[in-house]
Structure 1
Amino acid sequence: MCSHYQIPARERLKFMPGITALPPEVLQDMWPRKSGVFARRPLGWKPTPGDMGVRPVELVVGRWGLVSAKTTDLSIALKLSTFNARSETARTKHTFAHAWRMGQHCIIPAEAFYEPDWRTGKAVATRFTRADGGVMGVAGLWDVFTGSDGQEIVSYTMLTINADDHPLLNQYHQPGKEKRMIVVLPEASYDAWLDAPPEKSLDFMLAISPELLRAMPVLGT
């Protein structure tokens, strides 16, 4: 599970080909229910058969914590912890099923994400970055809720997988509890993930190699 991450600085938000415009300024230090940034295909865009050029990508500001388009009680939906979605069950959970069935894939740019290290018996915040200093692209889902008054809430969630056997991330979170990790996509998979149909979504739910990450304890915690 990831409940804290850092958005890249504005000049680093063009993290994949196809992004031409940057969104308004947003917070860099991200926590659930705050407004962050995600990348998706522009609404209504369709690929041209045989077109192998750069495909368009738009950066969208949305709430970190998915609010399903099918929500019937907004007051309850806004209180739920929907900032992470278990990839194993997202297609069957009411909060995520619509976005999953519609193939509403997105990529969340992250400079770093944070997890607690409990090996000393006390939670020590640890900052994870790409070992090469690049921007991470996290697999996610997006959705739009429209209220009866026309109010729209654009939102997104990060997809997670089991990390019990991951050589690095299985050392984090509380002892005795299942270890989870976000899905950090290989750059070569970015376009394929954005364009993948729902039935292919699970093919992308793969663990990042531990050597591609750098873990640093946050001093003073």
Structure 2
Amino acid sequence: MLDTTGSTISDFVAKAKCLEATSFCMIFDLRSRSLQKKTDAAAMEYDVRKAEVAPMCTSYEPNPHERFAAHRLFQAPDFDYKREIYKDYTAPIFRRGEGGWCTNPATFGMVPRKRIPAGVRPYDTMNARAETIGERRSFSSAWTRLQLCLIPCRAFFEPNYESGKPVRWRINLASEQPTAIAGLWRAWEEPDGKASLSFTMLTVNADTHPLMRRFHKPGDEKRSVVVIRPEDYEDWLSCRSMDEARSFLQLYRAEEMHAEAFPLPPRAPRAKPAGDDQPTLLD
């Protein structure tokens, strides 16, 4: 409420105008923040529409601790991680830092589920299409900044439909040596002020690849992750331009790869409550 005690009419008018201007700025600021949130949400919705109908690689086996001698450039991770990595799981990545090569924990999927705003339909960012990487908000910033990484990997999994139903297959190098997949990383600020990392795998068209064209649903575009050869690790992480980085986004030679059916083990039946011998519709 405006205090007019001891004020002249001109003072009163001046205070009223000041209050009006302050109120306008507060309303404008609130509307601007609301508009920014809507803009961010709209951009994410655009990413949802542009996302692949069927993501390429959604799970893989990271390189185990005992086999990191194959990646001599990089330190072995000093943190634990699962034997198989799925969306939002933490796994090691290699990247170039200010002090040299880094081995960091990062979560699989460029935009972790907890970072998707309320009201935006959840979507997957485990894979980034090389052809549209500069168009999608989820990846374009990391791509233009050349935030390149390597994902140490022993094998990855894809569905094969040649039997008429999806069967999980395991794909690795014929030499059985650990390898690394090309990816992008980004940083997130946590509530405590510390930074966390996330990553995505880069994919390319594989319609003509003798091996990778055998995976995913009939009629769907065939895709493949990009496997980087050990002799190219330094050059990939040291790219100085997007054109240079694109030169690495090639299919791996099929004769140097191996694939076999690798179904998940059947799920163990759920335990019944003690004393409940009556079968249910879910048993």
Larger Rg: 2
The letter for the 2-side match of 1:9 is P
Show the counterpart of 2:143. Answer: 100
Structure with higher helix content: 2
Show the counterpart of 2:50. Answer: none
Show the counterpart of 1:60. Answer: 104
Residue from 120, 124, 132 that aligns with 2:175: 132
- Displacement of 1:145 in angstroms is 1.8
- Displacement of 1:5 in angstroms is 0.3
1-side partners of 2:200 and 2:118: how far apart? 18
- Check conservation: 2:77, 2:92, Cα contact below 8 A: no
Residue from 98, 116, 122 that aligns with 2:165: 122
Residue from 48, 58, 61 that aligns with 1:3: 58
The letter for the 2-side match of 1:141 is L
The letter for the 2-side match of 1:154 is L
The letter for the 2-side match of 1:2 is C
- After superposition, residues 42-57 of structure 1 pair within 5 angstroms as 42=97, 44-45=98-99, 56-57=100-101
> What are the Cα deviations for residues 97-156 of structure 1, in whole angstroms up to 9, with x where unaligned?
111011011000111000111011111110011111111110000000226763533100
Show the counterpart of 1:25. Answer: 80
Identity, % of aligned pairs? 30
Alignment TM-score, normalising by the size of structure 2: 0.68
Show the counterpart of 2:38. Answer: none
Show the counterpart of 1:201. Answer: 245
Alignment TM-score, normalising by the size of structure 1: 0.86
144-153 or 165-174: bigger deviation = 144-153
Q: Could you say what secondary structure the match of 1:97 adopts?
A: helix
Tell me if 1:212 matches 2:212: no
- Check conservation: 2:90, 2:105, Cα contact below 8 A: yes
2-side partners of 1:209 and 1:113: how far apart? 16
Show the counterpart of 1:184. Answer: 227
Show the counterpart of 1:110. Answer: 153
Show the counterpart of 2:130. Answer: 87
In structure 2, list runs of 5 or more residues that go unmatched. Answer: 1-55, 266-283
- Displacement of 1:73 in angstroms is 5.6
120-129 or 148-157: bigger deviation = 148-157
The letter for the 2-side match of 1:82 is T
Q: Could you say what secondary structure the match of 1:61 adopts?
A: strand
1-side partners of 2:96 and 2:258: how far apart? 30
In structure 1, list runs of 5 or more residues that go unmatched. Answer: 46-55
- Displacement of 1:4 in angstroms is 1.0
Show the counterpart of 2:279. Answer: none
- Check conservation: 1:67, 1:78, Cα contact below 8 A: no
